[in-house]
A and B are shown apart, each in its own frame.
With several copies, the nearest count.
Chain A
Amino acid sequence: MRFSQEREGGVLILRLEGQLMGGGEAEEVRDLLLSSIDQGTSRILLDMGEVSWVNSSGLGILIAGHLAARQRGGTMKLMNVGSRIDSILNVTRLSTIFEVYETEEEARRSLQGSNA
């Protein structure tokens, strides 16, 4: 699990790479999400394009981010979700919770339009 971050117009874009499976670097993603939200950045876009794998611990991290952003009146959205991860989101019904965008443009537009 590697990640890089960008900030643009009040939106935090977090690009994840590898396996989001809990332990080590995956916990750094949780910490970064929660501390950014704590510091006031509550509009977050997770780029899942390079994520090959998510297990239930990884899903827990996504949920933690989602809840924290919402508590601050913001929102966390996903983009570039591959078919493997899409199937896990479907199986666990988390697809009904996370907003998923196909393209970066759409995702950014939806977040920058919001007033969080």
Chain B
Amino acid sequence: MDQVIQLAIPSRLELLPVLDRLVQGIAEQMDFSEDEADAIAISVIEAGTNAIQHGHKKDASKTVEFRFNLNPDHLQVVVRDTGPGFDVDAVLSSDPTRPEDLMKSSGRGIFIMRQMMDRVDFAIRPREGTFVYLRKSKDVNGRGVAPA
């Protein structure tokens, strides 16, 4: 309980760099490597982008919530919007790196999160909203960036 940082921002894409700064600060505080910090930051930004764009349709009066659980061996981030959710299975079964999808201008956010983090889970809860759970462990093969 004494290791939780919470952030709430209006649904404006312009605020993503602010989120980037905060996440980098938290990752640094937890002694993640620079590569790991980048991996975490981009994943949180992707989740935040989805919450703003898809969850809230950029309605700035709606708030996106971020909850950072700082544990000794891992960081867990929960990103919440109050939108209607989406068909998670359909998205997870698509692969934006297939040659025929490579030129699509969207559809890479969740893929990037899953490459960059150790775990990515979703929960769509009626009346509560859409929750994305991102988890990154420390040291354990410190893979901040997937091999080329």
Q: Which residues of B contact A59 (CB under 8 A)?
A: 108
Cα separation A21 to B148 with both chains bound (whole Å): 22
Question: Are A91 and B102 interface neighbours, CB within 8 A?
Answer: no
What's the interface size class on B, roughly? Answer: 20 to 34
Contacts of B115 in A (CB 8 A): 91
Query: Is A40's CB within 8 Å of the partner chain B?
Result: no
Knowing A21-B17, A56-B112, the reply to whether A93 touches B102 (Cβ < 8 A) is yes
Q: Let me know if A95 and B105 touch, CB within 8 A.
A: no
The verdict on A32 contacting chain B, using a C-beta distance below 8 Å, is: no
Q: Are A60 and B106 in contact (CB under 8 A)?
A: yes
B14 at the interface (CB under 8 A from A): yes
Bin chain A's interface residue count: 20 to 34
Q: Which applies to chain A's interface (DSSP): helix, strand, loop or mixed?
A: helix
- Once A19-B17, A87-B145, A91-B146 are accepted as A-B contacts, the answer to whether A96 and B102 lie under 8 Å apart by CB is yes
Contact A92-B97, Cβ < 8 Å, known A23-B16, A59-B108, A63-B103:
yes
- State the CA gap A75–B147 with chains docked (Å): 27
Question: When the two chains form their complex, are residues A56 and B49 in contact, meaning their CB atoms are under 8 A apart?
Answer: yes
Chain A residues near B (Cβ < 8 Å): 19, 21-24, 53, 55-57, 59-61, 63-64, 66-67, 84, 87-88, 90-97
With A87-B35, A88-B112, A90-B148 given, name 14 new contacts (CB 8 A): A21-B45, A22-B53, A23-B13, A23-B16, A55-B42, A55-B109, A56-B106, A57-B106, A60-B108, A63-B105, A64-B105, A90-B145, A91-B116, A92-B112
